[in-house]
Structure 1
Amino acid sequence: MGISSVGEPCMKASTAIATFRRLRTQPLWRLLASDHGPLTLGLLQTHLYESERGLPASIFHAICQA
């Protein structure tokens, strides 16, 4: 094994760490990581169908209130 083969996994790990740090600053990531994350995921899973990737907020809000 040469130096480059040993250093390569470290570069991949550092790239992954940088990506996760960047994601943690995004609003959606922060919501899912919050105390309300499981509730949010449960509502989305319950009210969105497999073929639907999006839903207008007004409709989603009405569904959740019913």
Structure 2
Amino acid sequence: MHFTVIGVWLADKPAVAGVVAGDHEIYGGDEHVFADGLWSTVVEAADIREAEHLATTAILENSL
């Protein structure tokens, strides 16, 4: 199943803010409140826990 994972950067680490079932485009977000940055990605996973893990791993690997 596809999950859209939405998050913010906190202390140079990706923190998950939410997970939505399905493949969704994400717009907006308050970059003034989250000055370290916002991120989102779509992953294929068996459940929400796996989606969170896969997303944070992918975000870390792609931000280096």
Calculate the TM-score normalised by the size of structure 2. 0.23
Q: Which has the higher contact order (CA 8 A, sep 6+)?
A: 2
* Rg comparison, structure with higher value: 1
Higher strand share: 2
